[in-house]
Amino acid sequence: MSMIFDRSENKAVVALIGAGSMGTAIVRRIATGKKILLGDVSEAVLERVSNDMTRCGYDVETMIVNALDKDSVEAFARQAAQLGPVMYFVDTAGASPNQASPEHIVNLDMIGTGYAVDAFGQVMAAGGAGLLISSQAAYMYPIPHEVESQLVNTPTVQLAQVPFIRDVAMQNSGLAYMIAKRVNHLQAQRAAATTWRERHARINTISPGVVVTPLAYDEFNANGEGYQRMIDASAARRAGTSDEIAEAAAFLLGEHAAFITGTDLLIDGGVIASIRAGQYRLG
């Protein structure tokens, strides 16, 4: 017998790009009684996550989406809107320094994120909220104020042509990652003040520190000693978990954060504080 667990109609929609452990932890935290649209480039990942969440009582649909492709991202946003009022959007798609070239990081973590912000800025329901997953790395490379002013006012499709991106971010994967993640903050600020504001929706970013996820082991395996020193120098003296990020995300996406938009929440156990206080040095 095929059972119907929820006969509610016109459910609020939760859309996620990047069906990894952090993104799905966030969705699980907020999506009870709602319609979930999972997007990922991997059909196998979508099938595995969808089956798991469906067996736990969630109402899930999936769609293959290539976060690097503007048309694909826009199609995903349109599909979300067809399912019902899009009240929540979460973007966790990205590649870390030891996973990809500078070009790929800029194209995925920065430009691809911009595509998503732009696309969902056309479909969010009034009162909705979005969240981009950035990184503590956004605080590790100060971008000159005049460059930030240029970047925050540059359309997504033109970002790669900005001299700072072309000449600095492309030097190596580490720089590309730090700069792309800072640009995520700027993308949320621009959207909060323009397209998302016009739809009466909010958008923020979270910058996690060292959080243990399956994908993070690529970084640990490549630079475990550096990450260990970072953990040891932090006030928390431990790594974080996806569930901790999900708790903070639920707040920023929820009704109690209705006055918060265009801002970043750093959740790093005190790593950036240790760097600024001279207790830990990068490199």
Known catalytic residue at 34: no
> CA-based angle 270:173:171, to the nearest 5?
120
Q: Are 105 and 97 in contact (CB under 8 A)?
A: yes
Which tokens hold the place of 27? 């969705």
- Using the structure block, give the residue that is written with the tokens 């990184």: 135
Which tokens hold the place of 243? 């569930």
Residues near 156 by beta carbon (within 8 Å), at least 6 away in sequence: 111, 114, 115, 117, 118, 187
Known catalytic residue at 177: yes
Query: Helix (H) and strand (E) counts for the chain?
Result: 12, 9
Cα 183 from Cα 270, distance rounded (Å): 22
Cα 250 from Cα 168, distance rounded (Å): 35
> CA-based angle 87:90:93, to the nearest 5?
155
Q: Are 91 and 131 in contact (CB under 8 A)?
A: yes
Q: Of 69, 276, 96, which is closest to residue 181 (Cα–Cα)?
A: 96
Q: Of 253, 266, 277, which is closest to residue 137 (Cα–Cα)?
A: 266
Out of 177, 217, 227, 280, the active site residue is 177
Cα 137 from Cα 200, distance rounded (Å): 30
Which tokens hold the place of 259? 């006055």
Out of 115, 181, 217, 280, the active site residue is 181
Cα 184 from Cα 139, distance rounded (Å): 12
What residues act catalytically?
A: 177, 181
